Amino acid sequence: MTIEDLVAQHATLVAYLKSKVAIAEWHGCADAAMDLREIEAQLAVLREFEKQGHRRCSDAEAEAISDKWASRLG
């Protein structure tokens, strides 16, 4: 997974969330919000990893470099 992939997914979910707000479909809003939180945690880890000079990382590497990500997986 790349930062670009996650940014695109984030944009798609924001659009979905807005559509669910427009029709007051709160279950869909909650689902989208939880997915957005997960993507934002993943982005934070990948950006941290990129600062270390890496282009991509596996889930195992992401877990190793971020306590926040590890706790989100747990």
Name the domain count of the chain.
Answer: 1
The answer, yes or no, to whether residue 67 has pLDDT greater than 70, is: no
User: Residue 43 sits in which domain range?
Assistant: 3-73
The average pLDDT across 6-31 equals 97
Instruction: Give Cβ neighbours of residue 1 (< 8 Å, ≥ 6 apart).
Output: 42, 46, 56
Reported as a single tens digit per residue, the pLDDT across 21-62 is 999 999 999 999 999 999 998 888 888 888 888 766 666 766
- How far apart CA 70 and CA 59 sit, in angstroms, is 9
Q: Which two tokens stand for residue 30?
A: 């909650």
- Predicted structure pTM score: 0.74
Choose the most confident range, by mean pLDDT, from 17-21, 41-45, 64-68.
17-21
